[in-house]
């Protein structure tokens, strides 16, 4: 079992802040992911991205690779889709982190920060239209050029929990 440490800075632009804890990651991954497309957004720099996806009404496009485009049949009937994408600029070794806008250290799995062992982000996006291999959506917050790894239909019956609470966040606002 590797030791925790708080002084490793694999990517200098994402340094360790007070209260943050970095771990050694395994030498080899367990499985591999394919990039199946690219997401195009208006945001070219991290600091320009909306802090959360509902903050912006920007129309973004999702370009699915030609090879995978047949998989879109039926997606045009969905009002909303779940997009999974790979945050390749995020560090993967933080188990405790201190988001700038909160200022308090929290466990990685209680946050939606892109920095996590598997830097897979998830957004529920409103689907405007599908044209060939291109989806137009509202509700993303990622950098232009982000790699897409999955598109799923959003089923309100299993995915919508309007009364769900994230206690630490509610307490913060309350």
132 binds a copy of itself (CB under 8 A): no
Concatenating the DSSP letter of every residue in 125-136 gives: EEEEEEETTEEE
140 binds a copy of itself (CB under 8 A): no
Using the minimum distance from each CB to a copy of itself, give the nearer residue, 13 or 77: 77
Is residue 174 a contact partner of residue 165, using CB atoms and an 8 Å limit? Answer: no
Whether the CA torsion 136, 141, 144, 148 is positive or negative: it is negative
Of 5, 10, 48, 160, which lies in the binding site for a copy of itself, with binding defined by CB under 8 A? Answer: 160
Burial 14-24 (b: 16+ CB within 10 A, else e): bebeeebbbbe
Of 36, 49, 60, 140, which lies in the binding site for a copy of itself, with binding defined by CB under 8 A? Answer: 36
Whether the CA torsion 20, 25, 31, 36 is positive or negative: it is positive
88 binds a copy of itself (CB under 8 A): yes
Of 41, 56, 123, 146, which lies in the binding site for a copy of itself, with binding defined by CB under 8 A? Answer: 123
Task: Show the site string, 53-82: x = touches a copy of itself by CB under 8 A, - = not.
Answer: xx---------x-xxxxxxxxxxxxxxxxx
What single DSSP character describes residue 26? P
84 binds a copy of itself (CB under 8 A): yes
Of 5, 10, 33, 132, which lies in the binding site for a copy of itself, with binding defined by CB under 8 A? Answer: 33
């Amino acid at each position: 079992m590797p030791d925790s440490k708080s002084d490793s800075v694999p990517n200098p632009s994402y340094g360790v802040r007070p209260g943050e804890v970095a771990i050694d990651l395994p030498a080899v991954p367990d499985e591999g992911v394919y990039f199946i497309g690219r997401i195009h957004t208006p945001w070219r720099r991290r600091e320009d991205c909306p802090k959360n996806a509902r903050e912006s009404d920007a129309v973004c496009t999702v370009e699915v690779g030609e090879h995978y485009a047949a998989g879109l049949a039926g997606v045009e009937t969905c009002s909303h889709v779940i997009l999974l994408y790979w945050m390749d600029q995020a560090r993967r070794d933080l188990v405790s982190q201190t988001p700038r806008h909160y200022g308090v250290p929290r466990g990685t799995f209680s946050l939606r920060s892109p920095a996590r062992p598997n830097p897979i982000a998830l957004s529920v996006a409103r689907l405007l239209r599908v044209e060939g291999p291109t989806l137009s959506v509202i509700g993303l917050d990622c950098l232009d050029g982000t790699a897409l790894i999955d598109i799923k239909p959003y089923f309100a019956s299993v995915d919508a929990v309007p009364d769900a609470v994230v206690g630490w966040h509610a307490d913060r606002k309350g």
